[in-house]
Amino acid sequence: MSKPTRSPATRPPATRPPATRVLPAVTDVDIRLLRVFRTVVESGGFSAAEVELNISRAAISLHMADLERRLGLRLCRRGRAGFLLTDEGRLAYEATLRLLAGLESFRSEINAAHGRLRGELNIGITDNLVTLPQMRVTNALGNLKRQGPEVRVNIRMIPPNEIERGVLDGRLHVGVVPARRALPGLDRFSLYQEESRLYCGRGHPLFEAEAAAVTPAVLAAADAVAPTEAQQVPDAIGFQRALTATATATDREGVAFLILTGCYLGFLPTHYARQWVERGAMRALLPDSHRYSLDFHAVTKKGAQPNLVLERFLALLKQTETAAA
């Protein structure tokens, strides 16, 4: 008697783990696309990056789409809210900075092995220092160019906190910023001491006033412009608090614009205001008492990889102090 056959047990189909995307070897094409990506992020969007990259917005869009395909990641979103990095995009941006900084470091080390000054020097500088009479940065850059004609210098005029971040993450080799609480990971040395005074513009009621009529109480009652950047000097903080700030400005040029309306008082560096004072367009108020000084430092990353161009520039920068002494 034959045994009844059993139907085979039905097993659920085997499940496979999702395939993991493996990034292939990085090519020259990837590096070009990553440079475009970095510029788009730092410019704040496709439109702003057009001038920096000198290519059309349509071309930038194609490059970004190509990069997203190659990485298998959605890097950014565009819409009415503007340009916005995704979480994956932020990770890719940080990795891009490390990769490009490493490539530049490699090139600098190879050039150093040949004893040649070749490569890039990326500098971040606080606005409106060019009119300082001690032209230390200018003179050092001029000497660097004469010693290394093939060196490419890139200057970015950006706020101090962005300069410090740029030096720390490798986007900048060196920065020039106001002296303040030292951030971990940065080396610094003194470059400049800058004096600032309180000014009004032609047309302001105090512009033609007798010196005796200009008192702290009169100044406190006048409209003034305050910088949005937090002041680091106690005297500057005290002076700003004593004024009636009815306007703000993100930088010194903005302060100058408002002073020149003849409607506001504001503090400016004496070297920057001199051009308007000599033309009779500005006047310093209580110059013996309403003044303060601010130190500026050069900052570099602690423990950075050897870079012949940066080392030579820093040496030339320090030599300018000896020449000016």
DSSP 63-126: HHHHHHHHHTS--EE-STT--EE-HHHHHHHHHHHHHHHHHHHHHHHHHHHTT---EEEEEEE-
Q: Mind listing the pLDDT tens digit for each residue in 137-165?
A: 999 999 999 999 989 999 998 888 889 98
Tell me 299's DSSP state. Answer: E
Please, which residues bridge with residue 177 across strands? Answer: 297
Give the mean model confidence (pLDDT) for residues 64-86.
85
Mean pLDDT of 53-57: 87
pLDDT, position 225: 96
Q: Which of 143, 139, 138 is nearest to 125 (CA)?
A: 138
Using a pLDDT cut of 90, give the percent of the chain over it: 44
Q: Of the ranges 25-39, 228-242, 269-283, which one carries the lowest mean pLDDT score?
A: 228-242
pLDDT, one tens digit per residue, over 297-318 is 999 998 877 788 999 999 999 8
Cα gap 229→259, rounded to integer Å: 18
Total length of the chain: 325
pLDDT at 207: 97
Predicted local confidence at residue 325, as pLDDT: 42
Domains for the chain: give ranges and CATH numbers.
28-94 (1.10.10.10), 110-190+296-324 (3.40.190.10), 193-295 (3.40.190.290)
Rg (CA), the chain: 28
pLDDT digits (tens, 9 = 90+) for 200-211: 999 999 999 999
**CA–CA separation, 119 and 128 (whole Å):** 27
Are 193 and 204 a contacting pair, CB within 8 Å? no
pLDDT at residue 246, rounded to an integer: 96
